[in-house]
Structure 1
Amino acid sequence: MTRRAPRLSRIAVLLGAAVMLAPLLWTLLLSLKSNEQLMQSSGTAFHAPWTLANYVAILGNSQVLGWLANSLIVSLGTTAGVLILCSLAGYGFARLDFPFRRSLFILVLLGLAIPEQAVILPRHQLFAELGLHNSYPGLILPGLVAPFGVFFMTQYFRSIPIDLDEAAALDGASRWTIFWKVLLPNTLPAQSALAVFTFLGSWNDYWWPLISATRSSRFTLTVGLASSQMNYAQTSGLGYLMAQAVFASVPILIVYLLFQKQIVRAMSGAAAK
């Protein structure tokens, strides 16, 4: 029984991976077929010939690279802002003693229970009055509100021994020096994980960019590709539609592959602590 257990576990993991990868493989195969062949039968996706014509068509759209640049600017700007604000807030809640600290922390946690749809109307009106629609700040600023990031960094700072602060203080280090040179380097695994989650969330965001960006020059990739799809799935563009899905997913896959070790380290460290 003890020898069969690891084998059964491996089989279960492999089956689960196969179930999760099957739709991705199916999408990739469809994207490599011409639309004419797919109109006859989607089963042709399993047989040669395959073609990159759909990807060439995507890159041939002069606006796609602009949408890609917009998504990168918004996602990277949001990620940088969240890391800075959440690290400072996490340090403050974990290490500093100030009035109403617990109340403010509870207020931050309550932000996790508020759905985005509940504040979309006042946010839209506020940004309209400030003239921030169709601008990068208008797309980035809402993403900086990250109660989960504050909670995550607070818990990670709390897991760091207080002895480090005391030793640095005895050496004459200021609060800022303790934060910047002593504690912050110890939070790199948590920051890497938070950066990946924030980047993926911002990259995949469709709801707010759809509302805030009304000019095609300010579309993110998700909104831009959706606006160009129209009714392709019912006409002659199923392969093109699948190629768009793959094209939008490649940057996400690259980010995850680059930071997967940091994500696992941060999650395992948080679970252990």
Structure 2
Amino acid sequence: MSSGLSNSRSFGDRVILALVIALSIVMLAPALWVIALSFKDNAELMANPNSVFHPPYIIQNYINIVGTSAVFRWILNSLIVSIGLTVGTLVLSSLAGYGFARLNFPGRDILFVVVLFGLAVPEQAVLVARHQIFSILKFHNTYQGIILPGLSSAFGVFLMTQYFRAIPKELDEAAMLDNASRFRVFWKVLLPLTLPAQATLGIFTFLGAWNDYFWPLISATKKEMFTLTVGMASTQTNFAQSEGIGYLMAQAVFAGAPIFIVYLFFQKYIVTAVSGAAVR
């Protein structure tokens, strides 16, 4: 009986493993296809699209990208924007989440509902008003002009509020009995307990900021202020989709490589954060 049950489990495990491998191949196929195209000559791809399956492979497409004098400035801009937006979002969302979860003030519930409405408002709906405000403030073509709109993270406030609410209030009361100020309770007692939520929010914010194209395209009109996504797009010709496929794919790989490197170094923390977000 036990032998039959064991064989049944073993067969089931093999089926699940086979399905996981098959799904992994399906998910990896587009990325591998893009990488393979990035190492092919554009003229050769135009003459024979199937040439991607056999040599020769070249690195000229990547040399052309690096040869763009502003590309490293674009990478620096993306790093500054992504890190600044991530740090700012974590600070503001943590403070706002603590306020909504622990403080009683007039209009708190109504204000929280207003914040939640922000989840339903698309960015395009406020684009014109935002553009006019930033034009008056002369924030376009500056780092603060690209970073500030993303700091109003309704999702971040909601996530941190729910996480703070899940922490027992007895911890606050015990700390206050020891004459700890409210800020000290927040900084020393509660904030360290929210590190899983902050890791989740920080990862999603950084990835979103790095891949963002819409607002940087509008706010940054000077070449030296382009982020990597906008800068890479600006180097494409009108016929890039048909005449420069290899170069286009090399741009995609080049833009995604920093995120892949970050993942290699912080894989453990990213998996933990994402699984924690899924559980919650």
TM-score greater than 0.5 by the shorter chain: yes
Q: Which residue of 1 aligns with 2:54?
A: 47
Separation (CA, whole Å) in 2 of partners of 1:269 and 1:233 = 40
Letter in 2 for 1:215: K
Q: Which residue of 2 aligns with 1:60?
A: 67
Displacement of 1:199 after TM fit? 0.9
Separation (CA, whole Å) in 2 of partners of 1:104 and 1:170 = 30
| Alpha-carbon distance change, 221 to 269 in structure 1, aligned in 2, over 3 angstroms | closer
Letter in 2 for 1:37: E
Deviations 1:122-171 (A, max 9, x none): 00111111111111111110111100011111111122222322222222
1:162 corresponds, among 160, 163, 169, to 169
Whether contact under 8 Å (1:189, 1:262) holds in the other structure is: no
**1:136 counterpart = 2:136:** no
Displacement of 1:179 after TM fit? 0.9
**1:101 counterpart = 2:108:** yes
Whether contact under 8 Å (1:95, 1:158) holds in the other structure is: yes
Letter in 2 for 1:59: V
TM-score calculated relative to the size of structure 1: 0.93
Letter in 2 for 1:234: S
Identity %: 60
Q: Which residue of 1 aligns with 2:24?
A: 17
Displacement of 1:193 after TM fit? 1.3
Displacement of 1:192 after TM fit? 1.3
| Alpha-carbon distance change, 152 to 255 in structure 1, aligned in 2, over 3 angstroms | farther
Whether contact under 8 Å (1:196, 1:256) holds in the other structure is: no
Whether contact under 8 Å (2:216, 2:230) holds in the other structure is: yes
Whether contact under 8 Å (2:61, 2:246) holds in the other structure is: yes
Displacement of 1:260 after TM fit? 3.8
Q: Which residue of 2 aligns with 1:92?
A: 99
User: What secondary structure does 2:106 align onto?
Assistant: coil
Q: Which residue of 1 aligns with 2:261?
A: 254
Separation (CA, whole Å) in 1 of partners of 2:31 and 2:91 = 34
Separation (CA, whole Å) in 1 of partners of 2:272 and 2:231 = 35
Q: Which residue of 2 aligns with 1:240?
A: 247
2:83 corresponds, among 54, 76, 84, to 76
User: What secondary structure does 2:180 align onto?
Assistant: coil
Deviations 1:71-115 (A, max 9, x none): 111111111110100010111111212222111111111100000
Whether contact under 8 Å (1:87, 1:150) holds in the other structure is: yes
Task: Count the aligned residue pairs.
Answer: 272
| Alpha-carbon distance change, 146 to 211 in structure 1, aligned in 2, over 3 angstroms | same
Letter in 2 for 1:261: K
Listed as ranges, the gaps of 5+ residues in structure 2 are 1-7
Choose 57-66 or 28-37, whichever is displaced more. 28-37
User: What secondary structure does 2:209 align onto?
Assistant: helix
For the pair shown, the structure with the greater C-alpha radius of gyration is 2
Choose 40-49 or 73-82, whichever is displaced more. 40-49
Displacement of 1:227 after TM fit? 1.1
2:222 corresponds, among 188, 211, 215, to 215
